[in-house]
């Protein structure tokens, strides 16, 4: 099964996966990939854009490979703001979309405490996009495609 975990920055997507995935599962998390590709002492968030660029390429390759193994294991993929094209792909793969959203006030507090100010813009974009979607088209935490 493919689980696509979405939500604004600092919502708790990684924590949700931590509480649901097993050691046998594949977890594709851009932050974890970036940390794995950088030297000792790299931050958990607020990565250098060059490091993120390399990690993003590795993420795409991991997604392609992992999606070929869905009949053998579960894959957890963090995708903050999937495009309509990505959502169509996930639908074809019969993914379960999980939305992690503790609320904009909590997200804003977490970003102020742990993340770069740029993430506030990403969170605002996520909430604005979510509000503008018709209710029927919005992925829900318990909805299975």
Task: Determine the angle formed by the axes of helices 118-132 and 104-114, rounding to 10 degrees.
Answer: 160
Per residue in 50-96, pLDDT (tens digit) is: 888 999 999 999 999 999 999 999 999 999 999 999 999 999 999 99
- pLDDT exceeds 80 at position 36: yes
pLDDT band at 9 (very low <50, low <70, confident <90, very high): very high
Structure tokens at 46: 């607020």
Model confidence band, residue 143 (pLDDT cutoffs 50, 70, 90): very low
Q: Where are the domains of the chain?
A: 2-137
pLDDT for the residue 45: 67
CATH class of 2-137: alpha beta
Can you give the pLDDT at residue 123? 96
Q: What is the pLDDT of residue 132?
A: 82
pTM: 0.85
Q: Mean of the pLDDT values across residues 21-43?
A: 89
Q: Which two tokens stand for residue 105?
A: 């006030």
CB-count exposure of residue 98 (10 Å: 0-12, 13-18, 19+): buried
Average the pLDDT over each of 21-25, 31-35, 77-81 and give the range with the smallest value: 31-35
* Per-residue model confidence as pLDDT tens digits over 99-140: 999 999 999 999 999 888 889 999 999 999 988 876 544 444
Pairing of strands 96-99, 75-78: unpaired
More confident residue, 144 or 17: 17
Residue 57 vs residues 35, 76, 97, 112, 130: alpha-carbon distances, Å? 14, 18, 23, 28, 27
Of 71, 72, 70, 102, whose CA–CA distance to 4 is shortest? 70
Six token digits for residue 82: 């999937």
Residue 69: the pLDDT is 97
What is the number of other CB atoms lying within 10 angstroms of the CB of residue 81?
14
Give yes or no for residue 142 having a pLDDT over 70: no
């Amino acid at each position: 099964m493919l689980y696509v975990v979405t939500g604004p920055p600092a919502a708790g997507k990684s924590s949700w996966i931590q509480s649901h995935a097993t050691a046998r599962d594949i977890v594709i998390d851009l932050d974890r990939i970036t940390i794995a590709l950088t030297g000792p002492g790299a931050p958990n968030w607020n990565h250098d854009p060059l490091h993120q660029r390399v990690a993003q390429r590795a993420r795409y390759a991991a997604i392609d490979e992992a999606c070929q193994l869905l009949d053998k294991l579960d894959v957890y993929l963090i995708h903050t703001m999937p495009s309509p094209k990505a959502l169509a792909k996930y639908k074809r793969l019969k993914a379960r979309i999980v939305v992690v959203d503790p609320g904009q006030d909590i997200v804003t507090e977490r970003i102020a405490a742990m993340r770069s100010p740029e993430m506030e813009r990403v969170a605002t974009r996520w909430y604005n996009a979510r509000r503008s979607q018709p209710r029927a088209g919005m992925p829900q935490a318990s909805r299975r495609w």
